[in-house]
Chains A and B, each alone.
Chain A
């Protein structure tokens, strides 16, 4: 089929390997993402905190620099599990912002323009289509969570020596699994919403709402009933518990209330309540359930044509 011949002809050249075909989708989608100056700027801003963290690690091991800046090493944050958990929390928040901006149109735009039959009439399964779309979010969020996290870890290990590395080797697992849990949760939620809602703005709003509304409601429940059970409906709190668990910082008792309480439920009553966080396994279960619901929704909604029975 040459341009000058204007004839139809079959393609007889080489082909991609079948397994890697789904990677075409993120390649095109990422090109679209980085066409936007706003998204590129936000993506670059997401590396400010890792840069600060790297500088902190460097300062810990450079007496000359500390002397020059007139800082005592004890004034700096210690490079330990808490340091990396905070890193994950900060980068996790940036990851959430980027997901709200990037992920909602990924499937909804295809639904709005009836593009799904075009993808699915090719040698590409529905699972591969979803994996391709998910790869866009996974790549972007990986670049700002576990990839810089592990780079900083190994930077610290190179400066702190083998003893530090052996003592903290388990943190590699915590950084990677903690990041991937968050990435998978965000990408599945965003794609599931994107497959239900055809309008980008509504999809972004729904994703924001899904995180903030239950969190706010959970906090109200916690305050009214003097409990921590409200965290069960807050994805932020649930994920925080998992991160604390992975970094060995999880404690169940996070407070106690004794004496007279002035709130609408216990108005003026004298109480003695120990505030217990939900068990760690419950947090894992909640995240697994949310992911399972998202996968079920995607399996129902990502179809070439919706059949009305």
Chain B
């Protein structure tokens, strides 16, 4: 299957200042998070993928198409929501989104239909005849999302989509992104410095630091890999017999304090088995935690790793 994004020794230099340094890797997630501190090169990477900046060396491919040689085909398959306020002045939102659809190649009649649909989809249906310049910040963000999806792109690039949004609007934006991701008709590349946004939406992450690729890992696999470490908090019943029974299933365990049990699950053991044993021994399971690396842990490890260039993917937490 063709990768969503392939980076092949991609370097970008502005003047004498290198911004992206020999990036390599393949990104295949349904929603890919692009993380990094300010100035790491996230936005430059997005702009390079869109053909705004030419690569100094190397190249990248989106769905197998080269960003330099097949720039128009690439851009036809991509929807882009820029970070900054971007709109066309003195135009109602529906006309703005329609214009964007037409520029993407949709004939005028269908473009109007799609513009209405996109605006209803993002929740601006009632305000679609108002000029975009009269919108609040949250509404402008939603209008930018509408113009990015109006032509039904295969890849949607979102640059800091939740910037400056109040909590309800942020959660609406996140839920829209997740809906699109779960619909499976478009892949998402989400750039953000908010780890929470990325954690909520993405299944793969790319961490940049000073233009280098600091980490590239699949969060789903990471979560699965860490599923085997479990911490239980129990109350009542025959705790000693309960943990012995867990041991009987082949799981290693350790007692921590009077109520906590840490254990390593075997491949063959399911969570339901733990509840069954707890019931048999009259033990209440008050809390069950998967002890896994949070995105914050992954990010911090990547940042601590220094500027060592990293090629390919790492899933083992040794980022």
Contacts and interface: CB of A to CB of B under 8 A. Distances in A.
Interface of A: 1-3, 6-16, 18, 21, 24-25, 28, 32, 109-110, 112-115, 117-125, 303-305, 307-309
A34 B15 CA distance: 44
A35 B117 CA distance: 26
Contact of A15 (B84, B106, B183): B106
Interface residues of B, number: 52
Contacts, number: 133
B52 A303 contact: yes
A123 B76 contact: yes
Nearest to B75: A123
B110 A1 contact: no
Contacts of B47: 304-305
For the complex of A and B, 3 pairs with smallest distance between CB atoms: A309-B15, A10-B152, A11-B152
Contacts of A16: 102, 105-107
Interface in B54-101: 72-73, 75-76, 78, 80, 82, 84-91, 95, 99-100
Contacts of A124: 75, 103
Contact of A18 (B82, B87, B105, B117): B105
B195 interface: no
Nearest to B179: A8
B235 interface: no
Contact of A7 (B99, B114, B183): B183
6 contacts: A9-B152, A21-B105, A113-B86, A123-B73, A123-B75, A309-B15
A115 B106 CA distance: 19
B309 to A, nearest CB: 23
A274 B86 CA distance: 59
Given A8-B180, A32-B91, A122-B76, 19 more contacts: A1-B114, A1-B118, A7-B183, A8-B121, A8-B152, A11-B152, A12-B152, A13-B106, A16-B105, A113-B89, A117-B86, A119-B103, A121-B52, A121-B75, A121-B82, A123-B73, A123-B103, A123-B105, A309-B17
A10 to B, nearest CB: 4
Contacts of B15: 309
Nearest to A307: B14
B103 A21 contact: yes
A1 to B, nearest CB: 4
A109 B82 CA distance: 17
Nearest to B99: A28
Nearest to A114: B86
Contacts of B87: 113-115, 118
Residue with the highest number of chain B CB atoms closer than 10 Å, among A28, A110, A303, A309: A28
A118 B100 contact: yes
B53 interface: yes
Interface of B: 14-15, 17, 47, 50-53, 72-73, 75-76, 78, 80, 82, 84-91, 95, 99-100, 102-107, 110, 114, 116-118, 120-121, 125, 133, 147, 149, 151-154, 179-180, 183, 185-186
A28 B88 CA distance: 11
Contacts of A2: 117
Given A2-B117, A3-B120, A11 B110 contact: yes
Residue with the highest number of chain B CB atoms closer than 10 Å, among A13, A18, A110: A13
A120 B100 contact: no
B183 A114 contact: no
Contacts of A9: 152, 183, 185
Nearest to A11: B152
Contacts of B183: 7-9
Contact of B84 (A114, A122, A125): A114
A103 to B, nearest CB: 16
B73 to A, nearest CB: 7
A309 B44 CA distance: 13
B107 A15 contact: yes
A118 B151 contact: no
B34 to A, nearest CB: 16
Contact of B72 (A8, A18, A117, A303): A18
A14 B107 contact: yes
A24 B116 contact: no
A113 B47 CA distance: 18
A304 B17 CA distance: 20
Contact of B104 (A113, A114, A122): A122
Contacts of A6: 120-121
Residue with the highest number of chain A CB atoms closer than 10 Å, among B87, B88, B95, B180: B88
Contacts of B186: 8, 10
A112 B85 CA distance: 10
A11 B151 contact: yes
B185 A304 contact: no
